[in-house]
A and B are shown apart, each in its own frame.
Chain A
Amino acid sequence: MNELNQVVFANIDEQEPWTIDSYIASGGYEAWKNILNNKDDSHKPENIIEIIQESGLRGRGGAGFPTGLKWSFMPTADTQKYIVCNSDESEPGTCHDRDILKLNPHALIEGIAIAGYAIGATIGYNYVRGEFMDECYPPIENALKEAYQHGLLGKDINNSGIDFDLYNFIGAGAYICGEETGLLESLEGKQGKPRFKPPFPANFGLYGQPTTVNNTQTLASVPMIIKNGSKWFKTFGTEKSPGTIIFSVSGHINNPGNYELPLGVPFNKLIEYSGGILNGKKLKAVIPGGSSTKVLPAHIIKDCTMDYESLQGAGSALGTAAVVVIAEGTCMVNLLKRISRFYFAESCGQCTPCREGTGWLYRILDRITNGNGKESDLELLVDVANRIEGNTICAFGDASAWPVQSFIEHYHEEFEYMVKHKGKTKAA
């Protein structure tokens, strides 16, 4: 059986899959139309939430939180609620939402509509990152227009009594807006600074109203699950990590690309799909889930399967399934310096440990690579990272600490060598 592209990308080999005609021809909007018709009463909101819970779908934006459970947190009170889609894709290494927006925008629109219905939201916003302005925004905006023209969105859709309006939003460049409460702030027209939690968005979200924020890939998975059932979805993946996920494989790899595969695919098989390590080189390390996840040396990742449990067991995480492949010969000190510069540049500045700590990390790494490192610097790096971790209001702080901790843990001798040899790399 072909394992590739079974759920989110099931229709992307059709002609012009981004058009509504193509999407409908491949069975799209069936799930949403069944809800709108709702003849046998089997499509009540609570049934939809139950199907998603049973399917085991977890948030694909990085945290892996169970989607159905998140939906069930929404209060039942009769008040304006919102569903918000997080298309602010910006975790380094990750680029699958970009393909969903371009190639399969209707799956996303249908997924947002279904999610909105399930949680009692009559309005949805799709927050698209600003840099996608010319490439991804037009296709998703065009798809939205088509959905309205086909009478699939709006007020009292098809005399169903169901209201659902969806709007696309455009950001303006800030990694932190991928954090769900930072995103809500940004959607309100403010600086994207994450909120203190609790209250969580389910109770106090957009404009203070109950809100659920889900990632693009998560929502684009929903229509196929509702249409084919949770059992079908669970035929892919492992018992604890059911379904498929889109791996963005980048770095030192022959065929970088987005590969939708069942969770639990062996690491070596994923590398085979991606054409092997670039120019036949030897694998050195992998960052398995975006730059915020811990690096794993080749001898550890080679025995892993690509799912939540296996990577956690190996000391890292699946994150966004952005697999950054690093070949022998790469200087891990320079790579970590680049990662740390990213967190320094993108810290929103609210929490002192993160605002100050990310700058410390970057400056120490900068002086090590410039040949001015001190022997005590390695201990200092870990110390600073440990003081950021767990001491900020959002996960960004942890994300800035984990690369530092793991790079130094696994490649300590490279850092030591560079300090001793005044900036000379051991890797080359």
Chain B
Amino acid sequence: MSLLNREIKEEIDLWVQKFPEGKQRSAIIAALHSVQHFNNGFLTSELMNEVAEYLDVPKIQVFEVASFYSMFNTQPVGKHEISVCTNISCMLRGSDQIVDHIEKRLQIKSGESTADGNIFLKKEEECLAACTGAPMLMLDHQYIENLDIKKVDEILDLLEKNNE
């Protein structure tokens, strides 16, 4: 049975239509986003193989995309992904302290997930293009700007509460 559900396939079909005939390779990135979304935030070899099969492209073409781009996780990760930008504009506004605080509170290092599988703290993130709202973080693709420790705690409180 296919691991790709109907919703994923419909989404991939929409993307394939954006490109000229025979150029369905262009849909690999979007297909992987879609699959990863439905698989709790990470990709597996089996899923990548199915994407290759569905798009009718060699498996390696899917694997090499998954390994190149930072948004794709090829290992299991926590349900919610937090990425704290630590590049220059955010660093100047105290992002290192934000990362330290999250690591201490969740008792994990960047790149790890909490033991209950609820939160994944992405390895220090490169510039997310929200420099005028520094320091900032991305929570499951949502930008949250002008952070301070209090705001970060509120975010973590909510994530933990929703997990209870």
Contacts and interface: CB of A to CB of B under 8 A. Distances in A.
Interface of A: 80, 89-95, 97-98, 125, 129-135, 167, 169-175, 186-192, 207, 248-252, 256-258, 287, 291, 322, 324-326, 330, 335, 338-339, 342, 345-346
A251 B72 CA distance: 29
Interface stretch (B1-9, B111-119, B137-145, B149-157): B137-145
A145 B26 CA distance: 21
A251 B87 CA distance: 11
A189 B132 contact: no
Nearest to B23: A207
Q: Which of A129, A190, A287, A335: most chain B Cβ within 10 A?
A: A190
B35 interface: no
B88 A335 contact: yes
Interface of B: 18, 20, 23, 25-30, 32-33, 57, 61, 64-65, 68-72, 86-89, 91-93, 126-134, 138, 140-143
B141 A252 contact: no
Contacts of B57: 189
Contact of B126 (A94, A257, A325, A345): A345
A346 B27 CA distance: 23
B10 to A, nearest CB: 16
Contacts of A287: 88
A133 B64 CA distance: 21
Contacts of A91: 127
A324 B92 contact: yes
Contacts of B27: 189
Contact of B61 (A80, A134, A170, A189): A189
A192 to B, nearest CB: 7
Given A89-B129, A324-B89, 11 more contacts: A91-B127, A95-B130, A171-B29, A174-B68, A189-B25, A249-B132, A250-B89, A251-B88, A258-B132, A335-B88, A345-B126
Contacts of B141: 131, 133-135
Q: Which of A80, A131, A248, A339: most chain B Cβ within 10 A?
A: A131
A186 B64 CA distance: 11
17 contacts: A89-B129, A94-B129, A131-B138, A134-B141, A172-B65, A172-B72, A174-B68, A189-B25, A190-B61, A191-B64, A192-B68, A250-B92, A291-B87, A324-B92, A335-B92, A342-B87, A345-B126
